[in-house]
Amino acid sequence: MWDVTVTDGRAVKLRGNKEHPTTRGALCPKVNRFLDRVYHPDRLATPLRRAGSKGDGLFEPVTWDVALGEISSRFSSLIDTVGAASILQFSFDGTQGVIQKGIMADRFFNAIGASDIHRHLCGATAWLGASDVSGVPFGTDPEDLVEARTIILWGTNTYLTNRHLWPVIEEARKDGATIVVIDPVRTSTAERADEFFQIRPGTDTALVLAMVHVLDRDGLVDVEWIDANTSGWEELAASARSMTPERAADVTGLEAKRIEWLARTYAARRPAAIRVLVGPEHRQHGRDIMRAIAILPAVTGAWQDIGGGLARSTQVYFETALNYPPPPDPPRRMFNMARLGEVLTDRSLSPGIAALLVHNSNPAVIVPDQNPIIEGLEREDLFTVVIEQFITDTARYADIVLPATTQIEHLDLGIAWGHLYLSLNQPAIEPVGDALPNTEIFRRLAAAMGIDDPGLQANDETLIRELLDSDHEWLQGITYEHLAEHTWARLNVVPGTRPYADTTADTDDGRLHLGVLEYQAGDETPNGNQELVDRYPLVLMTRKQHVKFLNANYAQFPEHLPAEGEPCLQIHPDDAARRGITSSDHVEVFNDRGRLSLGVEVTDEVLPGVVAIPFGWHHRHSPQGRAVNALTNPTTPDHDLGSAAFHDTLVDITRIPRDRHQ
């Protein structure tokens, strides 16, 4: 929640709203200098048309009429000839504001019947895993974590990625909470933990099974709670019987006695909370891992304590309460967004993709298996439109680029994944240059195409009023007028509500589902496909790592780069020594999908056998003109509904002789 000071129409100061219970006046390092972004000389201020080859980044300014006229005629002729399904909408999380993210864009593409992608790269697999246990997966209110006495930050890098939760963690610690971190990497969060479990990547299900084994063996499960609230306990207990702490130690690399400690502490030191976001979901068996984690509070009955249970993304609360539009009827042709490269290069698709419109996303950087994506974006017969604030690695390939407003220039309704406050984002300044809100761009495009649907001319305030027009109890009293006056409001979830203790699971029998649980190694992991492991012996993790990056965003600004000024591969001293690599070297990292040259940081933050490259750097930061997703695994589990197996990626590396790197 931001307050902006404006002098003579220009924003001069931006700070966090002091009254807001989550941000408490503080911003995170990414957006502290947001105004530099707004007024940056590279900010897009007019529509652009390509004036060079695809990817050159050469453009000429054109008027909105010319740009929208060209898009309209290209789209209309495709609709008349091969059909609207040849047009692909690709969008993602560039903004968390509901209407600028997609409400009007979706209306437009629904009206013409274009193809679409599931916006599933972030959180979908975590959702599926948790919902296997509890149906619609509501979780503990993160504010209630202050009450907890054990907090397990399980595969989430809270200190970096969820900075506004950190004061809550510290407050709980002050009151006696033990902070546990479970992560394959010694992250900045792990450095601040009381107990750090540096687990082998992707082996968390084995750890959970061993914890259940100990709880069952030592009589630490809550039998009464299990009988009254769950189903499938016998099957789960049987699954855990052979996973002794010793066996789990072999799989996870953790010590058996520490696994015992973790199980006993989790059961006894209450309230006991687990916090997750998306890290472990980005694996072939990510759904099993997220399900395994969600099983633990159901076994110990941790849900019974205020501040106990599982605190996950809170987005599900907003999705339940707000009046989101129903899915389109007839349904549109859908693809998993992780398969973009395949979709753009598949000549057998009928109809094939002939036009691509990207908004709120930078697929050339953020989607796994980058090389086929670039091959697709280079296609001369693909008409690409990108709505952006800057020329990104995706926008460089566009035929038309349209300039979008930033958060301080447009109206929006803000939801959250870290708390339960809804906010009204009101524009503080007029749009910079000729930039327009995404919503307005689609209203104008619809008009240019002569689409006669009043819903496509609804203004932004109407779109927000429609979303708030819900009789859900959590929105009682939260009207547009209320938000206009107070800026934010907490959903009416009664503070201290204990999900699944005060409420019932939304499963067929109203119980939390346990059942058979099995640890499986992903194909592209050290215990997976042996032929692949022989060729590519190192596991690559590509996590969010820099405090001033937001996904693929902000790496365009030199003042946001970390001190090393280039992306560096982190490698354990043993692996480095074996290959004669030091921190002053450069290396080539490669697998069947791609190749990248990078600097090196020799560090025991990563385990032997694991290497890590920070996510978020741009194409120009490597000599190959590619970013780290050139190497990553696009496998999408769960019948194409899940996220991608980014971190189940095997690579090898070679040292680059010094003279070759100059």
Ligand X SMILES: Nc1nc2c(c(=O)[nH]1)N[C@H]1C(S)=C(S)[C@@H](COP(=O)(O)OP(=O)(O)OC[C@H]3O[C@@H](n4cnc5c(=O)[nH]c(N)nc54)[C@H](O)[C@@H]3O)O[C@H]1N2
Rounded distance between C-alpha atoms, residue 425 and residue 491, angstroms: 16
- Closer residue to ligand X, CB minimum distance, 136 or 547: 547
> With binding defined as CB under 5 A, does residue 366 bind Mo ion?
no
Contact 57, 390 (CB under 8 A): no
In the complex, the smallest distance separating the C-beta of residue 647 from ligand X, rounded to whole angstroms, is 5
Which one of Mo ion, ligand X, none interacts with residue 161, CB within 5 to 8 A by kind? ligand X
> Which listed range, 122-130, 309-317, 388-396, 412-420, lies at the site for Mo ion (CB under 5 A)?
122-130
In the complex, the smallest distance separating the C-beta of residue 612 from ligand X, rounded to whole angstroms, is 8
Rounded distance between C-alpha atoms, residue 354 and residue 512, angstroms: 46
Which two structure tokens, joined as six digits, stand for 583?
């921190």
- Closer residue to Mo ion, CB minimum distance, 122 or 172: 122
Which two structure tokens, joined as six digits, stand for 602?
């020799």
> Which listed range, 99-107, 118-126, 204-212, 472-480, lies at the site for Mo ion (CB under 5 A)?
118-126
Find tokens 């698709």 and name the residue. 349
DSSP for residue 82: T
- Closer residue to ligand X, CB minimum distance, 122 or 226: 122
Identify which of 610, 644, 628, 632 has the alpha carbon closest to the alpha carbon of residue 183: 610
Rounded distance between C-alpha atoms, residue 315 and residue 312, angstroms: 9
If you write DSSP's letter for every residue of 338-350 in order, what string do you get? GGHHHHHH-TTSS
Count of beta carbons in the 10 Å neighbourhood of residue 495: 11
- Closer residue to ligand X, CB minimum distance, 89 or 360: 360
Which one of Mo ion, ligand X, none interacts with residue 195, CB within 5 to 8 A by kind? none
Identify which of 317, 272, 313, 310 has the alpha carbon closest to the alpha carbon of residue 293: 310
In the complex, the smallest distance separating the C-beta of residue 368 from ligand X, rounded to whole angstroms, is 7
In the complex, the smallest distance separating the C-beta of residue 278 from ligand X, rounded to whole angstroms, is 4
Rounded distance between C-alpha atoms, residue 657 and residue 239, angstroms: 51
- Closer residue to Mo ion, CB minimum distance, 4 or 122: 122
In the complex, the smallest distance separating the C-beta of residue 204 from Mo ion, rounded to whole angstroms, is 19
Residues in contact with ligand X by the rule CB under 6 A: 30, 92-95, 100, 121-122, 154-157, 160-161, 182-185, 187, 199, 201-202, 204, 277-280, 283, 359-362, 366, 387-390, 392, 404, 438, 541-544, 547, 549-553, 615-616, 628-629, 632, 646-647
Query: What's the first-to-final CA gap in the chain, in angstroms?
Result: 46
What is the distance of C-alpha 222 from the center of its chain?
A: 34
* Those residues with Cβ within 8 angstroms of residue 223's Cβ, 6 or more apart along the chain or in another chain: none
Which one of ligand X, Mo ion, none interacts with residue 552, CB within 5 to 8 A by kind? ligand X
- Closer residue to Mo ion, CB minimum distance, 289 or 650: 289
Which one of ligand X, Mo ion, none interacts with residue 279, CB within 5 to 8 A by kind? ligand X
In the complex, the smallest distance separating the C-beta of residue 197 from ligand X, rounded to whole angstroms, is 8
- Closer residue to ligand X, CB minimum distance, 391 or 475: 391
**Residue number with the smallest Cβ distance to ligand X:** 279
Rounded distance between C-alpha atoms, residue 249 and residue 258, angstroms: 9
Residues 315, 319, 325, 329: is their CA dihedral positive or negative? Answer: positive
**Residue number with the smallest Cβ distance to Mo ion:** 122
In the complex, the smallest distance separating the C-beta of residue 336 from ligand X, rounded to whole angstroms, is 13
Size of the site for Mo ion (CB under 5 A): 1
The answer, yes or no, to whether the previous bond of 330 is cis (omega within 30 of 0) is yes
- Closer residue to ligand X, CB minimum distance, 337 or 505: 337
In the complex, the smallest distance separating the C-beta of residue 598 from Mo ion, rounded to whole angstroms, is 23
If you write DSSP's letter for every residue of 245-282 in order, what string do you get? HHHHHHHH---HHHHHHHHHHHHHSSSEEEE--SGGGS
In the complex, the smallest distance separating the C-beta of residue 656 from ligand X, rounded to whole angstroms, is 22
> With binding defined as CB under 5 A, does residue 561 bind Mo ion?
no
- Closer residue to ligand X, CB minimum distance, 180 or 587: 180
What is the b/e burial string over 625-650, where b = at least 16 CB atoms within 10 angstroms of the residue's CB? ebbbbbbbbbbbbbeebbbbbbbbbb
Contact 642, 634 (CB under 8 A): no
Which one of Mo ion, ligand X, none interacts with residue 155, CB within 5 to 8 A by kind? ligand X
> With binding defined as CB under 5 A, does residue 122 bind Mo ion?
yes
Rounded distance between C-alpha atoms, residue 543 and residue 476, angstroms: 39
DSSP for residue 594: -
In the complex, the smallest distance separating the C-beta of residue 387 from ligand X, rounded to whole angstroms, is 4
Question: Which residues form the interface with Mo ion (CB under 5 A)?
Answer: 122
